[in-house]
Homo-oligomer: A and B are copies of this chain.
Amino acid sequence: MNQFQDLDHIDGVSISSVSANLYNSKRDDLVMFYFRDGANFASVYTNSKIPSENIRWNINQKTKKIFSLMVNTKNANSFTGESGYKSMEKIADLLSKQLTNKQKEDEEHPVKIKPKNIIFGCTGTIGEKFPEEKIKDKIPELIENIKYTQNKYIWMKAALGIMTTDTQPKMSMEICKIGNAEVKIYGIAKGSGMIQPNMATTLAYVFTDADISNEILKKLLKKNLSNTFHAITCDGDTSTNDMVTIFSTSKVKHVKVDSVNSEKINEFDEALNKVLLNLAKRVVADGEGASKFITINVNKCKTEQEAKMIAFSIANSPLVKTAIAGEDPNWGRIIMAIGKTETVINLKRLSIKFGENIIIHNGKIYSNYDETLASEYMQNDNIEINIDIFSGSKNFTAYTMDFTKKYIEINADYRS
């Protein structure tokens, strides 16, 4: 095993990707993650009131260990009703049986894997019959392909295999310590390509060889989503299929972590945040038709909630996003977006900067404001909007992309 493989190998995780011909092409569209000794896990799912059938399946499984995550693209298994849910049951049944056989072949102490040990990620078109047979047919091949050591190529193949209309695979990795032991965190994600699926599904899967309980994983995930995946927006829409899951294989032995507030977990906590933030930013940067990546820092608010409301009001405003696409330092639209939130603003202290260009200072147009300089700044690919509210000490940063003609083109011309 070379150094390259070692770095990208998360002990206890196996990945297989195949083409199940869901796209009527040779591209990989079905990815199976297999945890030979099971994995602790925690998930956060879409807030949609109409979740897809795979999300409903996942929520219903009461289990402490996951042995497999299967992800398909092209079909969202959303609005497919009872038949869509039954497909999950049948695939889980078949997959669990065949993985149990694999256990018998390969393991010293084989375990019986049950349907409830399996969860699913689906993304793609809504309302189309779920391709149960095509997927079941590929299970033997997926299992045959299992390798117990991963390398960068295998991760990349998985990141490619879960894509819909993403233009780039999204991966991120961090190494950190828990006590004296080195642990790894590897994440992959798919983003908001919205051509082929009917909407912007976000899937993100994070894997670690650390030994962390389900309960603490849940707390860590929730905590670290708030300023990462919950801080991004492409168009304010919410998918029926969104899913972020973290798996911990417990292969690295380290001091026991018994609380999310324990100092022992600090480094891991930070590394997890980096992985999630990196993936979340890649999702935004690859947003449909995006020409610019926009960071909106709203600082010195009374509450984080208030800072978040203002940041998202700006991030979701079509008028702000089109102005940025046009490289126009149109600060009037920022004022509008701040004004429409349910917040109390002390206008006399408000400050607005595009990058380092001060535009509003103490609630007035800055005396040295130079629109030529601001216009030059707007030509960058990365735009920072910095807002100080001066009503408190809480901050929030949101990430989004601009709205270009290409966005309309992609989303209007789908299926034509």
Contacts and interface: CB of A to CB of B under 8 A. Distances in A.
Interface in A391-416: 403-405, 407-409, 411-416
A255 interface: no
A338 B408 CA distance: 21
Interface in A313-335: 316-319, 322-323, 325-328, 330-333, 335
Interface residues of A, number: 65
A301 interface: no
A340 B198 CA distance: 14
A49 B416 CA distance: 43
Contacts of A330: 198, 414-415
A286 B368 CA distance: 38
A78 to B, nearest CB: 7
Contacts of A46: 339
Nearest to A79: B335
A50 interface: yes
Count chain B CB atoms within 10 A of each CB in A200, A339, A363, A365 and give the residue with the most: A339
A176 interface: no
A344 interface: yes
Contacts of A412: 322-323, 325-326, 328, 403-405
A198 B339 CA distance: 13
Contacts of A413: 326
B414 A408 contact: no
Interface string A89-131: 0000000000000000000000000000000000001110000
A339 B341 CA distance: 23
Count chain B CB atoms within 10 A of each CB in A337, A412, A413 and give the residue with the most: A412
Given A194-B319, A318-B318, A48 B326 contact: no
A240 interface: yes
A412 to B, nearest CB: 3
In order of increasing CB-CB distance, the 4 nearest A-B pairs are A198-B332, A326-B412, A126-B332, A50-B339
